Amino acid sequence: MIALLALFAFILTWQYSNFSLIFLPLIFYGLAREFFVFLKFRKNIIKEATIVKNSLIYRLSMGDFLIYIISFFMAIFTFLSLFLNLITAQKQELFFLLIFLPLCLVFLRKKLNFQFIDNAYSDFRIIIISAFLIALIYAIFNLFFSSLEEVRLENFSQNVIPYKISTFFVFDFISEILTLIKFIEEYFLSSLGVVWFKMIHLIFDFSNFFIFSLSFAYIYNFAFKIKNKNYIYIFSFMMILGIFFIKETKNEKIKPYQKEFALFVENIALLKEQNLTSLKQNKDQIENNLKKVQELLNKNAFELGIWWFSKEKEDLQKAVNESLK
């Protein structure tokens, strides 16, 4: 429950207070604890099924040191994904996670109560199914009800970048960088055409929101272990009210690097449009033309006069004109 409250507190305060940093270790602990319980249970199942009881290998595998290490690194990956998504999360994303996700977890837990034994492995299955369903619904909703506008470099270089700002400079910097990365992604996707743009956007939305939902589901699952679950619903509802009534603080200044960044992206786009094979062919052709010019410099006046009226001169002139194009 503490991990869930820490998650709620971070969502509400990361833009306005430097002290929001203290909530992150509690969120990490909740994730690490859930991974540890699942991996330990999984280890015990494999051990009992494959190793002779009271054997040397059985006794050596009694410790949980390796489980702690694996849980730690799994928690780091999940925590970083959760953190980066929270920095750029929109209100509709949080609405799905704070309302539909816990309801889906409770619904599946009740419906599958007679199908699965109540243990950590069953929790993992329910978390995966819930995250998958919520991510799929969100991706479809985003496809039909969110406007996917074409990104133009002119607009980017002249308009304000509306990223979420924070009083803590690290969070502010991360938010700005993530917004720029999203702009590059949107720019190149929009160049593929409307159909491909929407299809790839659907895949990206589903994949990213699935991992986001998975992180949230682990925190919720950790909190649902308390006896009185009504507190979770109450706090989730209060979070929804807080998110929709607290005004987000966004950047209102044009950054000095915007024009240079737009030019950089435009140059990348030009390179993308060029076929690498044709670039190599052009390079080889230019080198060949330079070698012919070098040979001309070694000729005397009489030889140059003969060369001037030869077909070799016309071929070189055509090759140079093609290279200039």
Report pLDDT digits (tens) over 51-73: 667 666 666 666 677 788 888 99
pLDDT at position 73: 92
Choose among 75, 39, 72, 100: nearest CA to 236. Answer: 100
**138 pLDDT tier (thresholds 50, 70, 90):** very high
Domain extent listing, the chain = 2-273, 276-324
Please state the rounded mean pLDDT for residues 236-261: 77
Q: Among residues 69, 232, 212, 75, which one has the least CA distance to residue 139?
A: 212
Chain-centroid distance of CA 248 in Å reads 22
The answer, yes or no, to whether residue 204 has pLDDT greater than 70, is: yes
pLDDT at residue 4, as a whole number: 85
pLDDT of residue 244: 77
**CA 54 vs CA 30, 47, 60, 130: distances in Å:** 33, 11, 10, 39
Nearest by Cα to 104 from 130, 122, 127: 130
Token readout for 309 is 């009226």
The model's pTM is 0.72
103 within 8 A of 177, measured Cβ to Cβ: no
* Average pLDDT of the residues in 77-97: 89
Cα 22 to chain centroid distance, Å, stands at: 24
Q: What integer best gives the mean pLDDT of the chain?
A: 78
For residues 158-165, give the mean pLDDT: 75
What does DSSP assign to residue 55? S
**Residue pLDDT, tens place only, 282-322:** 667 777 767 776 676 666 666 667 766 777 777 777 776 77
**Cα(199)–Cα(179) distance, integer angstroms:** 21
